[in-house]
Structure 1
Amino acid sequence: MSLIIAYIGKKGCVMASDKRKIGYFGDKENLAKLEKELYDGKISNDEDFEKRASELGISIKITDDASKLKVVGNTVRGEVSTKGTFETKRRRIYGTTNGYQLVELVGSETTSRKAGEKGIIIFGNNFAKKMAETLISRKWKSSQSLRYMGDIFEEVLTEVASKTPTVGDKFDVLLQEPKFTTSEAQKHLNITIDNDIKVLTKFRQELTEQIVQQSIAIDMANKIISKGEIGQVAEVDGNMVQVQLNDKTQAMDGNWKQLAAPGGNVLMFSDSDNVEVGDKVVIENENLCLKKDKSTLKCDIILCSL
């Protein structure tokens, strides 16, 4: 659901892209039917798209705020992506003066990488791509500046967006004009792309760790004890009370790290002068207290079941 147009030549690189993103939810067969109609150019505007999606029982969400272009070093990067069940597939173009590379990734693993020196590269579905190629051939003047080329690309994007809802009517245009020979361009691209993919790998690792931690937090939160016996008093020293946990209770810190396993001791505090070794400790109405007289106990731990 994207259209990215890039020019790479001896003057530099200019890239233009729409900002459309479309989310789908519904029956797979009807979704495939809807996509085929879109890519065949049978649906020409957002209103018809929403109507046809409704007829097929497909829920859609259209936004025009996705940033598909980015300056990385002295290059411009354009990316289209497809999210699968388990992985995201990315297709990228990195362009600079006198050189470009096309990179395909699954997750953060590179599956294809090709290099070139100059040309016009278009990412998009077949209908949008063919229309863009026709329009560019009519408007193109290679002797013009990069900024003029960027204006032409915006005009092309505008016309394509008026014919298909796969392309939005908001655009980004970025350019870079470093002074590179063809060999310098590829050296720079290799370094830039390798570093950029390392950043993506690190981001995915951090994201995975966050998801794991969130999963642990959700799992442990469901185990927080709100009712029942949790142990008994093992030692009393003034207002400090050592409580031995029973065989079904563990103590966790705020990061869900175990501080005490079942049978271990944890420190609590009491304002009562009637605490004795052997007293049962319970949670009633989410209140930590002694079973015998309901006097409150305080602690800075989280009590969870196994």
Structure 2
Amino acid sequence: MSLIIAYVGKKGCVMASDKRKIGYFGDKENLATLEKELYDGKIDNDDDFLKRAAELGISVKITDDANKIKIIGNAIRGEVSTKGTFETRRRRIYGTTNGYQIVELLGSDTESRKAGESGVIIFGNDYAKRTAETLIKRKWKSSQSLRYMGEIFQSILEEVASKTPTVGNKIDVLMQQPKFDKSEAQRHLNVTIDHDIKVLTKFRQELTEKLVQQNIEIEMANKILNKGDIGRVVQIDGDMLFVQLNDKTQAVDANWKQLAAPGQNVLMFTDSDNVKIGDKVVIENEDLCLKKDKSSLRCDIILCSL
């Protein structure tokens, strides 16, 4: 659901893109029908698109705030992506004066990488690309300035957006004009792309770690005890009680790190003067207390089931 147009040559690089992003939810077969009609150019505006989606029982969310092009060093990066079941597939173009590279990524793994020196490159679905190519042939003048090329690209994107909902009418245009010859351009692109992919790899690793931690927290939160037997008092020292956990209870800290396993002792506090060795400790109505008289107990740990 994107259209990116880039010019790369001796004048520099200019790149333009729409900002549209479309999310779907619904039956896979109906979704395939809707996408085919979109990519065949049979749906030409947002209202008809939403109407057709409703007829097929597909929920649709349209936004026009995606940043598909970005300045990276002395280059511009454009990206279109497709989210799969397990990984995101990315197609990127990095352009600068006298050079560009097209990189295909699955997750953060590079599947292909091709270099070129100059040209007009278009990323997008088939219908949007065909429409843009026709308009470029009609409007393009290579002798014009980079700024003028950017204006042409913007007008083309706007015209394509009027013909298909797959492209939005909010447009970004970026330019870079460093003084690189052809060999300097590729050297700069190699360094820029390698670093950019490392940043993506680190981001994905951090995201994976965050998701793993979130899953741990959800799993542990579901194990927090709010009722049932906890253990029994095995030692008394003033208002401090040592409670031996039963075989189904563990104690953890706020970071879900285990502090005491089943059968081990934990420290609790009481205001009662009627505590005896062997008294059972329970949670009733989400309150930690002695089973015999419901005397309240306090602790600085989280009590969870195994």
The CA RMSD over aligned residues, in Å, is 1.1
**Residue type matched to 2:112 in 1?**
S
SS of the aligned residue for 2:159 comes to: helix
Q: What are the residue-to-residue correspondences of 1:37-48 with 2, within 5 Å?
A: 37-48=37-48
Shift of 1:273: 2.4
Q: Quote the residue 2:69 is aligned against.
A: 69
Q: Quote the residue 1:106 is aligned against.
A: 106
**Residue type matched to 1:32 in 2?**
A
**Residue type matched to 1:192 in 2?**
T
**Residue type matched to 1:114 in 2?**
K
Give the TM-score taking structure 1 as reference length: 0.97
How far, CA to CA, are the matches of 1:70 and 1:251 in structure 2? 48
Q: Quote the residue 1:91 is aligned against.
A: 91
How far, CA to CA, are the matches of 2:11 and 2:268 in structure 1? 72
**Residue type matched to 1:103 in 2?**
V
Shift of 1:52: 1.2
Q: What are the residue-to-residue correspondences of 1:58-207 with 2, within 5 Å?
A: 58-207=58-207
**Residue type matched to 1:61 in 2?**
K
Shift of 1:300: 1.5
**Residue type matched to 1:220 in 2?**
M
Shift of 1:143: 2.2
How far, CA to CA, are the matches of 1:75 and 1:37 in structure 2? 36
Q: Quote the residue 1:26 is aligned against.
A: 26
Shift of 1:144: 2.1
Shift of 1:74: 1.1
How far, CA to CA, are the matches of 2:225 and 2:299 in structure 1? 14
Runs ≥4 in structure 1, deviation > 3 angstroms?
none
Q: Quote the residue 2:229 is aligned against.
A: 229
- Count of aligned pairs: 306
Give the TM-score taking structure 2 as reference length: 0.97
How far, CA to CA, are the matches of 1:302 and 1:110 in structure 2? 44
How far, CA to CA, are the matches of 1:151 and 1:263 in structure 2? 74
% identical equivalent positions: 79
Gaps of at least 5 residues in structure 2 are: none
- Residues 121-171 of structure 1 show CA distances to partners (whole Å, capped at 9, x for unaligned) of 000111111111111122222222222111111100000000000100101
Gaps of at least 5 residues in structure 1 are: none
Shift of 1:72: 1.1
How far, CA to CA, are the matches of 1:196 and 1:15 in structure 2? 18
Is 1:52 the counterpart of 2:42 in the alignment?
no
How far, CA to CA, are the matches of 2:188 and 2:41 in structure 1? 39
